[in-house]
Amino acid sequence: MSAAEQDLIQALSDEEIGEIEKEITHLNGRKSAAIDALKIVQKHRRYVSDESLQAVANLLGMSFAELDGIATFYNLIFRKPVGEKVILLCDSVSCWIMGGVDIREKIKSKLQIEMGETTPDDKYTLLPMSCLGDCDHAPAMIVGEDVYRDLTNERIDEIFDE
């Protein structure tokens, strides 16, 4: 391994490398582990920096551009720093019809941030997301790992006051 490759590998911890290598052994070819490898990095660091992405690309035998394309296409991989919990607020038609715009304004005012921003205490990042697949319970959002459906202004107060 070259010195440059050694440097890049520092963008991943030994634990991350171990988890990614384990994932690779379960799959057919190193490139097949691309999304899982990015998820592993995100689990440890909340997001995937350029340096970590390059290190993962090296591990998988891919180019930066190839892996970045996958990360960009898979919109649950965050390429910029995010808060402890990411709020993915549905930004598609069923949710708009069912009052999604009001819900968006309510969350923005509750957390005092705009779309794409993180609260000053680093707790929440608010991001738009295309249809979450819960249109019959619109408006909907995901906070961290939890899905919230049939949102109302009152429900938003309850969720964030919890």
Distance, CA of 54 to CA of 4 (rounded, Å):
11
Considering only residues 92, 124, 142, 148, which one is a binding residue for ligand FES as defined by CB under 6 A?
92
Give residues 95-154 in contact with ligand FES (rule: CB under 6 A): 95, 131-132, 134-135, 138, 140
Q: Which helix (H) or strand (E) holds 161?
A: helix 153-161
Give residues 52-91 in contact with ligand FES (rule: CB under 6 A): 90
Residue whose CB is less far from ligand FES, 8 or 129: 129
- Residue 126, helix vs strand vs coil: strand
In the complex, minimum distance from the CB of residue 147 to ligand FES, in angstroms, rounded to a whole number: 10
Residue whose CB is less far from ligand FES, 17 or 147: 147
Tokens of 39: 């998820």
Distance, CA of 65 to CA of 128 (rounded, Å):
24
Residue whose CB is less far from ligand FES, 135 or 159: 135
Task: Tell me the pairing of strands 124-129 and 141-143.
Answer: unpaired
Residue whose CB is less far from ligand FES, 59 or 126: 126
By residue count, the chain amounts to 162
Which amino acid does the sequence have at 114?
Answer: E
Residues forming the site for ligand FES (CB under 6 A): 90, 92-95, 131-132, 134-135, 138, 140
